[in-house]
């Protein structure tokens, strides 16, 4: 275990945070200060950390540093961390002490010295931060270990900037430097002022050990998911992905997009980008109410809407072709919030602009899709690759006595592309290249089957579950889901397989005369 000594001049908030976080398993073994009234002493004592006071006196700097080393003796520390320790260390200390880190509240070599925040504000720069460096006799001049940047805002003063640098930069960078040291990622060579630092840094990698974002506020929104929640939308100016954030809004009479509009429109765009042929989807609360592929856009939209026209009310429409007048006339036949498409004919725009609250988003020619998806957590963020799986009939393993027909195999592939965009537990019924019923977000798979069947039986127009293909985003843990599907009239099933009871599930399908194929991979979606 790496043992740390902390040298603080006042509150020692960085040191106490390191003590609480124990980065890399490091332990704050002792806290020293030259001020017997320093608040850090109380904070350390409350945490059971030994303390030492080495007061200033009339002796030389070198003599004081010798007393400092004597106080450290016996604690067997590997690293010393300075935190607001406002004394320049001498060679007397530096030659004999363990490696010593200091944190400075600016991005060195810019703005060294005691008034860094005032220098930053006077300079007019838009970015500042902190630097963790090796302490040397040169003030704020030692080799840099790591840095962390934060923005400077127009209404900042020295106090607000100091708080942001501490909480957003120092609280990130100092524990990181300690963790790197504890994990052996830092190599320090040389002595005294001649020391050099080498840090083992990641090569270019999909998931680097440290991420930096570059986002700009695009708009302050009226509110968030609910009226009592404040919200804003941020844009990544470096992204090349097709995006609703950067889309042109072509209906000047419409209100600005809401938080929910952005969220649903993004989900709708992700679904519609799955298909090369003309396709349409209707989204509600980021779930597909219906989706279809057809020879022309108007037919695709008609079939998508017919899956669940009741749930489509107030939804988001997404199209993967330039929207023509025939499609636009159908869209405005019932209330919609947003239309997303890669372009619009003049006649289609004229139709949409008659609806003053319909947001009309032109995302331009489809380009690449974002490779990664992110989900914020309290205190962190999950990052994963976008689910880019695409299956073909050759990828499917038929596991039942009854073989799926060629048409059913094609429907399985269509259904699999759609179900990736349905909240788990998810069941989707399809016929040809159109959805028939969708059961989303259930905590039991058999309930998702029943919901999809009910939707198809009671809400769909001109179609029903009889003869449909069922897709399941994960395996069936019991035969009851298959039994419920057969009762609804399903004739073929596509699912990942992999359950402990696969044999029972397949046997049930055989007994009920269903065809079944396994994909060998699941399609969970939880956000």
d(CA 340, CA 348): 13
Q: Please list the active-site residues.
A: 104
Asked if residue 508 has pLDDT above 90, the reply is yes
What local confidence, expressed as pLDDT, does residue 196 receive?
Answer: 79
E strand segments, 126-245: 127-134, 144-151, 186-189, 196-199, 216-220, 232-235
**Cβ atoms 177, 148 nearer than 8 A:** no
The average confidence (pLDDT) of the chain is 93
Long-range contacts, stretch 324-331, CB < 8 angstroms, 24+ apart:
324/297, 324/298, 324/348, 325/351, 326/297, 326/298, 327/280, 327/297, 327/298, 327/301, 328/352, 330/298, 330/301, 330/302, 330/305, 331/301
Q: What is the DSSP string of 246-303?
A: T-EE--TTSPPPPHHHHHHHHHHHHHHTT-SS-EEEEEETTEEEEEEE-SSHHHHHHH
Q: What is the DSSP string of 363-411?
A: --S--PPPSEEEEEETTEEEEEE-------GGG-EE-SSBPPPHHHHHH
Asked if residue 165 has pLDDT above 80, the reply is yes
Distance between first and last Cα of the chain? 39
What local confidence, expressed as pLDDT, does residue 193 receive?
Answer: 61
CA 152 from chain center: how many Å?
24
Half-sphere exposure of 526 (CA within 13 A, CB side): 9
What local confidence, expressed as pLDDT, does residue 192 receive?
Answer: 60
Q: How far lies 88's CA from each of 106, 205, 489, in Å?
A: 18, 40, 82
d(CA 266, CA 268): 5
Between residues 201 and 421, the one the model is more confident about: 421
Q: Domains of the chain (ranges plus CATH)?
A: 3-199 (3.40.50.170), 241-362 (3.40.140.20), 389-518 (3.40.140.20)
pLDDT, one tens digit per residue, over 378-412 is: 989 899 999 999 999 999 999 999 999 999 999 99
Asked if residue 214 has pLDDT above 80, the reply is no
- Name the token pair of 31: 């806290």
What local confidence, expressed as pLDDT, does residue 421 receive?
Answer: 96
Residues facing residue 232 across a β-bridge: 220
What is the CB neighbour count within 10 angstroms for residue 109? 12
Name residues whose C-beta falls within 8 Å of residue 92's C-beta, 6 or more positions apart in sequence. 61, 62, 65, 66, 69
**Cβ atoms 89, 100 nearer than 8 A:** yes
Q: Where are the alpha helices (DSSP H) in 47-167?
A: 61-72, 91-94, 116-123, 158-164
Backbone angles phi and psi of 129, in degrees to 5: 160, -145
Report helix, strand or coil for 128. strand
3-18: average pLDDT: 94
- Name the token pair of 108: 């060195």
Asked if residue 463 has pLDDT above 70, the reply is yes
d(CA 519, CA 435): 19
What local confidence, expressed as pLDDT, does residue 237 receive?
Answer: 86
**Cβ atoms 11, 87 nearer than 8 A:** no
Asked if residue 205 has pLDDT above 80, the reply is no
pLDDT band at 284 (very low <50, low <70, confident <90, very high): very high
pTM as predicted: 0.82
225-254: average pLDDT: 93
pLDDT, one tens digit per residue, over 250-274 is: 999 899 999 999 999 999 999 999 9
Asked if residue 210 has pLDDT above 80, the reply is no
Query: Which of the residue ranges 57-61, 94-98, 133-137, 156-160 has the most confident prediction, judged by mean pLDDT?
Result: 156-160
**Cβ atoms 14, 81 nearer than 8 A:** yes
Pairing of strands 144-151, 127-134: antiparallel
346-367: average pLDDT: 95
pLDDT band at 115 (very low <50, low <70, confident <90, very high): very high
**Cβ atoms 78, 95 nearer than 8 A:** no
Q: Which of the residue ranges 10-14, 53-57, 465-469 would you say has the lowest mean pLDDT?
A: 53-57
- Name the token pair of 183: 């994990």
- Name the token pair of 202: 């990641």
174-187: average pLDDT: 93
122-146: average pLDDT: 92
pLDDT band at 216 (very low <50, low <70, confident <90, very high): confident
pLDDT, one tens digit per residue, over 44-102 is: 999 999 999 998 887 888 988 899 999 999 899 999 999 998 888 888 888 889 999 99
């Amino acid at each position: 275990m790496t043992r740390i000594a902390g040298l603080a001049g006042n509150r020692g908030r960085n040191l106490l945070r390191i003590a609480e976080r124990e980065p890399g398993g490091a332990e704050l073994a002792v806290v020293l200060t030259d001020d017997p009234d320093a608040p850090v002493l109380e904070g350390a004592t409350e945490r059971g950390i030994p303390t030492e006071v080495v007061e200033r006196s009339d002796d030389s700097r070198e003599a004081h540093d010798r007393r400092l080393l004597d106080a450290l003796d016996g604690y067997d520390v590997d690293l010393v961390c300075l935190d607001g320790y406002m004394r320049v260390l001498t060679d007397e200390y530096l030659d004999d002490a363990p490696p010593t880190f200091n944190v400075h509240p600016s991005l060195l070599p810019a703005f060294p010295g005691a008034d860094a925040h005032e220098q930053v504000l006077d300079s007019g720069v838009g970015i500042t931060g902190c630097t963790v460096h090796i302490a040397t006799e040169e003030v704020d001049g030692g080799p840099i270990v790591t840095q962390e940047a934060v923005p400077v805002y127009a209404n900042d003063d020295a106090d607000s900037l100091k708080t942001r640098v501490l909480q957003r930069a120092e609280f990130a960078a100092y524990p990181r430097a300690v963790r790197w040291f504890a994990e052996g990622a830092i190599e320090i060579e040389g002595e005294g002022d001649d020391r050099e630092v080498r840090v083992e840094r990641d090569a270019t990698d999909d998931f680097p050990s440290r991420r930096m974002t570059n986002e700009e506020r695009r708009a302050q929104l009226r509110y968030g998911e609910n009226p009592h929640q404040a919200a804003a939308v941020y844009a990544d100016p470096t992204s090349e992905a097709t995006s609703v954030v950067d889309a042109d809004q072509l209906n000047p009479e419409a209100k600005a997009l809401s938080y929910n509009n952005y969220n649903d429109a993004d989900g709708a765009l992700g679904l519609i980008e799955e298909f090369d042929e003309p396709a349409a989807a209707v989204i509600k609360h980021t779930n597909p109410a219906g989706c279809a592929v057809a020879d022309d856009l108007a037919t695709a939209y008609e079939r998508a809407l017919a899956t669940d026209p009741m749930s489509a009310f107030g939804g988001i429409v997404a199209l993967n072709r330039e929207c023509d007048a025939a499609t636009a006339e159908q869209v405005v036949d019932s209330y919609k919030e947003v239309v997303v498409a890669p372009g619009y004919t003049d006649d289609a725009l004229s139709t949409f602009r008659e609806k003053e609250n319909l947001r009309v988003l032109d995302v331009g020619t489809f380009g690449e899709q974002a490779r990664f998806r992110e989900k914020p957590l309290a205190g962190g963020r999950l990052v994963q690759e976008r689910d880019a799986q695409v299956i073909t009939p050759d990828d499917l393993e038929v596991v039942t006595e009854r073989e799926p027909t060629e048409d059913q195999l094609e429907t399985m592939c269509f259904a699999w592309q759609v179900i990736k965009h349905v909240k788990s537990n998810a069941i989707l019924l399809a016929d040809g290249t159109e959805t028939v019923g969708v059961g989303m977000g259930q905590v039991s798979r058999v309930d998702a089957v029943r919901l999809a069947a009910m939707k198809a039986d009671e809400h769909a127009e001109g179609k029903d579950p009889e003869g449909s293909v069922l897709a399941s985003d994960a395996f069936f843990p019991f035969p009851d889901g298959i039994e419920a599907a057969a009762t609804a009239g399903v004739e073929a099933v596509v699912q990942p397989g992999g359950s402990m009871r696969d044999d029972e599930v397949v046997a049930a399908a055989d007994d009920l005369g269903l065809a079944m194929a396994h994909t060998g991979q699941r399609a969970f979606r939880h956000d």
